[in-house]
A and B are shown apart, each in its own frame.
Chain A
């Protein structure tokens, strides 16, 4: 072992000992069925400087082998199933069910009007209320959504982007009512607007004011909500839109670089906000490429943060990632086959070292998941965790010639993309020119042609087809829900202190015209029961709206 490798190895051992004092591992010892005892970590015969540079030790720069020293021997990844549909009451029931079933974190799906900043009674919302997630118009809905859920014990992820500040403010306000200070709240807001322009479509404002809202959240949370992940920089949706693995990593990191730069430009210190950045990847089909993707992304991010942005805190350099299995890989044909796809994709994410995981339900190509399908999806993760033993040693595939080659290749190709995007003026400029959009669309079209020609086989779709008789049971959102939600909202408008709403909204509007941090003003409006649509409406007036290229 080279001298520096030895030094790092000793450091890892010390850190592990420290960690074990506070967080013991799941078991005293880990053994196989044949009583072979498993070490925490396996290393090359003679770790040299090149090993150190590329892989290092888990929990140490460049984090290729994982962001924690003991990884899943200490604690499994967080099993976090994205859920939400219909009314706040119904979703609250599903949340409690999932927590009862052993889920360890919440993940809120909002309906499209909420995500695009329209109230349920807005004409633009017609037909969409409560469809792809829960309808939240005001703090009152949020109170119902989180009723009976101890916000100091669970962490909550919210898939919300353009109006992220509004929903975060509502969460903080509910916490206050539960007597939980914002310092103790844990969770994530997606808050990643660039990928909305590229792939997901729930943008509201143009890039510049959107970036400002994001850096306002970074600044506010670093002081007031320190355990919150202020952003979940997402490759997931770009992958769903058709990108390949390299593009997923490259465009995610390009966007991440833009956020970090924007925050630095806004006067923040990199180590003040960077520990709260998190990521979101897709778990796709190519098993080994997927594993390599996570490892390459960790190494790339650590280097970018250290070398480019001069980060000093280890947490600023750690690529912490949530994974969801690939929705677009699922087929409407022979839907039970999707359980198998999800299991393999989830296994790749775990072998890649994800921090949390959502496993898709078998029926997602048909509709929202039924309770039974959602349970099977969660059980899939539990089987991987408890029955397969893959979590019993850290980064088990390290040192595979093949996996290390793929990791290096992904890193190399991502760097080429990053260079290209840099030359275009960074991710914001590239998005405005439609560059990523075109790259992804081209890839999606190639994939479609390959599937239609049969060059790419999708089991049950273009090969091994059967006549299907039984259509599985699916979940339906009550069509009467929209009307009920509209009535509830109009009732709230009658009951609340309208003068207070007007005052807080006026103050928000004035602040939006200055450089002031908007979070306190949004929080104030939310507490006065101003609605998502009203708050976003005020900001629309000041910021204008984005029109797609």
Chain B
């Protein structure tokens, strides 16, 4: 499940049949690069919330011109909370008197766009606030960005056969060798700039690396990003719908802590998050 585009559910709660605005905004947001699902007319708040969860949207846009907004909009927010989906941003529009806006905002509708609002303004608000909501959910002010690529893992049948290319032909320095019994793998670290290449050789035909080579041949196995707080980063990626292979971070090399993100949610690239340990020497042993 790859999530690059913001997904929006445009919904018509209640019995109101005026959908010119809803349709125009749906097409407008699509033209602004978002993925938009339109519910059609006459949706109950419960139907809207169910659709939002099923469609895995970041934002619900409610449109009502019948005057029923004070009942229907807060009901959508209440049901989202009940379903544990309060991270979905809710905005609204239609024929809504100015006096009603503070009430609706207090009830959790992030913004009411009244008649005359441009599509661009609406799109900008959604973009800014969807991003903010994702971050707020982690108790931090901004996304935690990895500082650098910690290493690139390459699966090889034999370290001995693969190493000469890096060491002799490219002329890189070999930092050291090691083996991780739990993963049934032997590794070699090669320095390049301020990152590293990690060669992985299976020590058992049933090891994950052996199975990888059997299925896909030798080649790049994973990319590891260095992060400051692995638990926060794991929460962040999880929140955005990416599946983690390790529910909990586990110890890695040199006292580091690591976790893997499943390649099916990252365009086929096995991705490792790696928080460095306090020990910084190059010759340490792999921990379990």
State whether A196 and B15 are in contact (beta carbons under 8 Å apart), knowing that A127-B68, A128-B66, A331-B116 are contacts in the complex. no
Q: Which residue of B lies closest to A203 (CB)?
A: B17
A105 within 8 Å of B (CB atoms): no
For B192, what are the chain A residues with a Cβ–Cβ distance below 8 Å?
A: none
A441 within 8 Å of B (CB atoms): yes
For A184, what are the chain B residues with a Cβ–Cβ distance below 8 Å?
A: none
State whether A367 and B67 are in contact (beta carbons under 8 Å apart), knowing that A125-B15, A471-B99 are contacts in the complex. yes
For B17, what are the chain A residues with a Cβ–Cβ distance below 8 Å?
A: 112, 196, 199-202
For A132, what are the chain B residues with a Cβ–Cβ distance below 8 Å?
A: 16, 66-67
For A112, what are the chain B residues with a Cβ–Cβ distance below 8 Å?
A: 14-17, 66
State whether A448 and B24 are in contact (beta carbons under 8 Å apart), knowing that A461-B116, A474-B97 are contacts in the complex. yes
- Inter-chain contact A126/B120, CB cutoff 8 Å: no
Complex: A123 Cα to B14 Cα, angstroms: 10
Minimum C-beta distance from A120 to chain B (A): 12
Instruction: Choose among B41, B71, B97 the residue that contacts A548 (Cβ–Cβ < 8 A).
Output: B41
B19 within 8 Å of A (CB atoms): yes
For B118, what are the chain A residues with a Cβ–Cβ distance below 8 Å?
A: 452
- Inter-chain contact B72/A127, CB cutoff 8 Å: yes
- Inter-chain contact A131/B119, CB cutoff 8 Å: no
Instruction: Choose among A127, A242, A331, A452 the residue that contacts B20 (Cβ–Cβ < 8 A).
Output: A242
State whether A477 and B67 are in contact (beta carbons under 8 Å apart), knowing that A112-B14, A201-B17 are contacts in the complex. yes
For A116, what are the chain B residues with a Cβ–Cβ distance below 8 Å?
A: 15, 42
B219 within 8 Å of A (CB atoms): no
- Inter-chain contact A331/B115, CB cutoff 8 Å: yes
For B23, what are the chain A residues with a Cβ–Cβ distance below 8 Å?
A: 441, 444-445
Complex: A113 Cα to B17 Cα, angstroms: 12
Within 8 A of A (CB), among B1-49: 14-20, 23-24, 27-28, 40-42, 44
Complex: A199 Cα to B115 Cα, angstroms: 19
Complex: A199 Cα to B99 Cα, angstroms: 29
B237 within 8 Å of A (CB atoms): no
* A-B CB proximity, top 4 nearest: A201-B17, A127-B71, A127-B68, A112-B15
For B114, what are the chain A residues with a Cβ–Cβ distance below 8 Å?
A: 332
A479 within 8 Å of B (CB atoms): yes
A180 within 8 Å of B (CB atoms): no
**What string of 1s and 0s marks CB contacts (under 8 Å) between A321-342 and chain B?**
0000000100111000000000
Instruction: Choose among B66, B115, B119 the residue that contacts A452 (Cβ–Cβ < 8 A).
Output: B119
**What string of 1s and 0s marks CB contacts (under 8 Å) between A444-467 and chain B?**
110010001000000001000000
Complex: A128 Cα to B16 Cα, angstroms: 9
Q: Which residue of A lies closest to B15 (CB)?
A: A112
For B20, what are the chain A residues with a Cβ–Cβ distance below 8 Å?
A: 240-242, 328, 441, 444
Minimum C-beta distance from A234 to chain B (A): 13
- Inter-chain contact A332/B16, CB cutoff 8 Å: no
Question: DSSP class of A's interface residues: helix, strand, loop or mixed?
Answer: loop
Complex: A333 Cα to B24 Cα, angstroms: 20
Instruction: Choose among B24, B41, B42, B98 the residue that contacts A471 (Cβ–Cβ < 8 A).
Output: B98
Complex: A152 Cα to B72 Cα, angstroms: 41
Complex: A331 Cα to B115 Cα, angstroms: 7
For B24, what are the chain A residues with a Cβ–Cβ distance below 8 Å?
A: 242, 441, 444-445, 448
A368 within 8 Å of B (CB atoms): yes
For A200, what are the chain B residues with a Cβ–Cβ distance below 8 Å?
A: 17-18
A202, A331, A479: residue with the most chain B Cβ atoms closer than 10 Å: A202
Complex: A240 Cα to B19 Cα, angstroms: 10
For B68, what are the chain A residues with a Cβ–Cβ distance below 8 Å?
A: 127-128, 131
- Inter-chain contact A332/B14, CB cutoff 8 Å: no
- Inter-chain contact A365/B115, CB cutoff 8 Å: yes
For B28, what are the chain A residues with a Cβ–Cβ distance below 8 Å?
A: 445, 448
For A240, what are the chain B residues with a Cβ–Cβ distance below 8 Å?
A: 18, 20
Complex: A249 Cα to B18 Cα, angstroms: 20
A186 within 8 Å of B (CB atoms): no
Complex: A377 Cα to B157 Cα, angstroms: 86
B66, B98, B114, B116: residue with the most chain A Cβ atoms closer than 10 Å: B116
For B66, what are the chain A residues with a Cβ–Cβ distance below 8 Å?
A: 112, 128, 131-132
B181 within 8 Å of A (CB atoms): no
State whether A128 and B19 are in contact (beta carbons under 8 Å apart), knowing that A471-B98, A548-B41 are contacts in the complex. no
- Inter-chain contact B40/A368, CB cutoff 8 Å: no
Q: Which residue of B lies closest to A479 (CB)?
A: B70
For A125, what are the chain B residues with a Cβ–Cβ distance below 8 Å?
A: 15
